[in-house]
Structure 1
Amino acid sequence: MDDSGGTIRVLHVDDDADLADLTATYLRRENDRIAVETAENADEALGRLDEGVDCVVADYDMPGRSGIELLEAVRADHPDLPFILYTGKGSEEIASEAISAGVTDYLQKEGGTSQYAVLANRIVNAVEAVRSEQLLARRTHRLERLIDNLPGMVYRCRNEPDWPMETVEGEVEELTGYDADALERGDVVWGADILHPADRDEMWERVQASIADRGTFEVNYRIRTREGETRWMWERGRGVYENDELVAIEGFITDVSERERREKRLEQTTARLEALFEQSPDMINVHDAEGTIDEPNARLCEKLGYDREELIGTKVWEIDCSIDSESAAEIWARMEPGDSRRFEGEYERADGSTFPVEVHIRRIEADDEPLYAVISRDITERRQRERELERVREEHEELINGMNDTVWVINTDAEFLAVNDAAVERLGYSREELLGMGPRDINPETDPDEIAALIEGMPEDGTQVFETVHETKDGERIPVEISSSLIRYRGETVILSVGRDISARKERERRLERFASIVSHDLRNPLNVASGRLELAAEECNSEHLGHVADAHERMNALIDTLLDLAREGELAIDPAPVAVADVAESAWTTVATDDAELRIAVEGTIVADRSRLTQLFENLFRNAVEHGGPGVTVTVADIDGGFAVTDDGPGIPESERDSVFETGYTTGEGTGFGLSIVGQVAEAHGWSVRLVAGEDGGARFEFTGVEEP
């Protein structure tokens, strides 16, 4: 085994001494570079970090400090020390917390000994990565000191029409898109592959004329980068002579195309602005300090019913009947260059009819003369919606008061404007007391700045949903789910919030988390020790009983995995997205022990589903078909109207039992009885209907309908 990297000193922290000892044994077997020392808790581990540790491997659930707390303490003094969280208590929350704390890697304990090969590989990779980074940093520092001050590239080339490069240094790839090695090897030739074809002859002639008198030369020319971009270069160089013979050209090249780009961007920006001005869906005009319209756009002319020539020279108060010359002049006088104002007005058409507008005016400077750009939008429909919302508010105010959930109206200053009867009853304050309060007074766990950010970030359309805790007048804390949306209330935009008590849901989540913790940590560790010891025993003796023990261990692992899956289904979360059914089915088939079974795919297209959950559904159906279908069973995944079906040609399921198969614990053999229960829960979480019928060949056929397509 390659030992060029030297010994890797690992500190394994686990409160289970037997498991820690077993892990050390297998790590040394996997890689003889690994030397393992153990510690039973975080405090012991911290006291030994200065003894020359290359990597820390730690469990999560330990007495005293947890694995995450140990990680945070290690990061405080050893920010670059590899740290691998190796735990039986796995969850997305723990993984997210570990990543936030700076964990190097995260690995969940599993059954069997194959996990130790994975762990050994993760340890070696993490340590070698750190060592490589340290070596690279030293080399890079030396190189950076040489080329830090080069705003381009230096070169040495032969004096030939193709300018073949012998040496290049500096910002070679930034300038050309090619790395320095490609130029030095001759894979890329400066004159043939980079220098713009239209500039090659002139470049050659000018350089030759300069070096003929042993002078220096300065030239500007274009290049084409690897990506096909054209850039302008400035180059200064001179000839290199040995015994009066020209042997090379040396010089410096830098990019000067930014000036060219700025000029082109200015031209393009001007053209775009002109196009936006004329094609904008909003009404736009530019007027001077006297209120005279100089530039009306096409939309303004169309909405008002005037020709462009008719509007030029018109005063703004002649089209906006909500202002007069004096009030307009007062507004403009208070505006500095760059200032903007927003207000609502009323425009009058050529036929005398009017419509409401929202007006944005901004002062700009042009040739030392103040000009005012005005962008206006017809808000007739918005006014109608506001009137309708006000009507709806009045009609539904009594209905809101009859809701069981707490409801309140909040202004943008985070103050309650109205509360319903349920809020008064649930929080224990009188209505008068609540109307003098705000969200910050009943959300003790939420920072006031966070409340302000939530209010400021409210979407104009849609609902914002989040969880928080409400504290009653008596000090009771109630977990709630808040659904908030913007509405019009008494003429102003406010926030309508509905708070739903989720105490029962939180309690279920806590019970499920505790259950998963017991299964993953308290059961998995001793089972791993037993499995490891069994393999060691098998190396020392041969007994027919050992195989039965191994089968029992495998069965226990499967049971633990299934129990964990079922526990997590209690809070089944899905993240639907378009997925190809055939791809997911084929991938799931590879994860199941299928023996001589055969999978047939007769499904096309995509559906909207959570890929992970759909994979779980297929795995359980395939496993059920293989376990109960007998040798050589064939499983088919096919399209049906409104969804897809999974069919096998096994013995099938009696009609009298088909209503029971999706119940937790149902089994006809030695299974756990959870597989088809999980299938039913995955379908329900997606909003699908699932039906079990007999297949054409007499086997079981599971039909899923109500499936959404992208």
Structure 2
Amino acid sequence: MGGGTIHVLYVDSGPPSAGDISRRLESARESLRVTTVDSGSVDALSTELADCVVCDCALSDPSAAELLEAVREEDTEVPLVLFTDDVGGRTADESIPSFVDAYVPKQGEGRDHERLLGRIEDLVSRHRSETNYREVFEKAAVAMSVRDPETGRFLDVNERYCELTGYSRGELIGRTSEEVGGEHAGYTADRAHELLRQTIEEGSQTVEWVNERRDGTSVRVQATLKPAEIDGQTRVLVSLHDVTDQREREADLERKNDLFERTQRIGHIGGWELDVETDELRWTDEVRRILGVPPDFDPDPDGVVEWFHPDDQPTVREAFSRSVIEGEPYDIEARVTTDDGDTRWVRIRADPQTTGDGQRRIRGTVRDITDRKRREELLHELHHRTRELIRAETPTEIAHIAVETAEETLGLPLSGIHLDDGDGTLRAAAVTDAVREHVGENPDYDRSSTDHGDELAWEVFESGESRLIEDIDTNGDLDIDSAIRSGLVYPLGDHGVFITSSPDPEQFGEEEQAFAEMLAATTTAALDRAKREQRYDAIFNQTFQFTGLTQPDGTLTEANDTALTFVDATREEVTGKPLWETPWFQYDDDTRQLARDAVERARAGGFFRGELPIVGGDGEEIITDFSLRPVTDETGQVIMLVPEGRDITELKEREAELERKNEQLEEFASVVSHDLRNPLAVASGHLELALEEYDDDNLEYVKEAHDRMESLIDDLLALARQGTSVDERRVVDLEATVRRSWRTVETGDATLRVASNGSFEADPSRLGQLFENLFRNAVEYAGNAPTVTVGVLDDGDGFYVEDDGPGIPPERRDRVFEAGHTTSETGTGFGLRIVERIATAHGWTIVVTEGADGGARFEVTGVEMRVDGKTV
């Protein structure tokens, strides 16, 4: 099996026989490691490193229950197997604690270790698969609510809780269990309130509960209540796990077990007695019936052994001899050949006795166990098939194995698995050849069909209830034109149905139903596992990120396909190694040390994240955003670590390129500031001297050109040094900022009006530049004595600046924010570009439209405004 080495803790409470079993187990599998311990003091047991615990103890031993409970208390999750003598009957089965995961009886055939090995592998495989999938990908999907312990009201619920109950969050918040949970016997609102208060007083607890969904249906849940401090208040955090299906399956399993016990008790017991002194042998009629001889048959003691199978005769002869000579009792199983040539299995018990007058005799029983042996062989074969089902990867493969099992193992030649295709059809995924011979094709069942066969299949699928048809001809609600007379239909969860039938009526008794139901249940479990594995694979292996799983000490247990492909490695090559020794962390010593440090931090419950370089199998070097996250159980214990890596090479290259461009831009700004201003200052100085000496209009034109060049330089510097983001913000007042900016601008006869006020977060300096440039634009383009109005937008999403000038034509509005765009002889064309850059740096959007009086209106949106102390 996959998943690496299996560590077995073998706890022996009886005679020192476990060593033989341990050696046989380890020799059967290289991947198996067995540690054998004497139970001794149960307080000294430790299952920390065990994948499975086997308890070798006799049910009759009073300390057996104490030993089993001690192992289970030590670890509630590790699979627990009871390996003991099969004493048979109801008493043995009822003595097995419910928390034991598997019961393997000793049969003394030299094959005990094979059956024990099979159960260990199945339990560990299932436990590992469910743990990965549950802890990594299903742990967060829990229905949760926050409750007020005093009133019982819902204070908060998550999406899973809404999905579970059918109520929306709005329907639940502020209401009590009495208002939304319904009333059920034993599960009342008063009891719910009592549990909430009890949790605060006594601590966390787990109970089973029945909730009523919004549609009136009931759901059984396992509720875990924990006290929690939320927003300074003592609350109760309630986590719900839907156990409705689980309880129904448990009820079904209990019913199946009861049915199986009753089938085991079918049979009769015959008696016999041997007078040792006279060698006289007497049989009851039941013994004669078992052996198929007439009621008047007179047994011969010397010829009794000849009734047994040649391979079993030595065992019978030796047991009988010890009983006669040494007075030892015996209890053996052997095959006999009946008078008509049939072979039957019998269980023979002998009890030597001495009468009051000193006479010796042996009394015993003979029980026909042929059916039991056949069932054991059937169960053994079903167990073998179950392992095949568990290993199967696809629904189609599972269906073929299940149908083959029904035909070859259970003797059900007319069988088929039909799976829901999602479009209203239960399609034949696998059917036996006999089905095709009877039907002529692979039968599908249409949801919209009025045919009774289709309706029956869909009824079982949708209801989840199996159906037994003893005789179609006498069944009034079925009108099916078919050679089939009897049949069984079992639901396969949400996957489809299993159908088996017969051309004869009443062909499915209790035993046939029990085994068919077992097969259906096993097939359902295999389909569920395949679905989980497909979902797990879709999440785990189809992502572009590097993802894996490690033990708390950093030992890698799983890596996804993306990570393996990058370093050109197989799972076998990397799993089982410490994280820092895997190929991804071999770039240099610093990288390996970083991995060690990350494991230590995550192992202690912390989260690690950092950047590190790795080299792929083809020599490609990339930079990864690496993180290591701990996963904890309900007690807060770290049970695994999740390493993840994301390729950020391109991002880092873009950041480097941006840094280079920023440096170039800064260099440009310096050139503009220094290399252009200096010669311009020299030219302006000489111009001032010339104007003092000459009165020439041409010199005035030169002065205007110098002023124009100075404005261009100022605007170019401002534009070049406007960043793409804002580092620091604080709350600013709109009106105060506007009036301060107005005073720094040459506004002439223009008038400022603040229509409404509000506050918001911004960089005060850059916000002031935004308003200054908008005001200059209005004064320059709006004509003589314009009125400039500033206020909060009606929907509160930002602010606006508008004038009462001629406005901007619609065809030019898309161009006003372009660098260098201007219609003025004195404008530089960079003012509105600067405005747009400042707005973008804050995460805002600016557009130009028409004002109330026809002028230009600039609207800045995406601003979280507060008006009168309230966020709009």
TM-score between the two structures when normalised by the length of structure 2: 0.33
TM-score between the two structures when normalised by the length of structure 1: 0.39
Higher relative contact order, structure no. (Cα contacts within 8 Å, ≥ 6 residues apart): 1
Work out which of the two has the higher radius of gyration on C-alpha atoms and give 1 or 2.
2
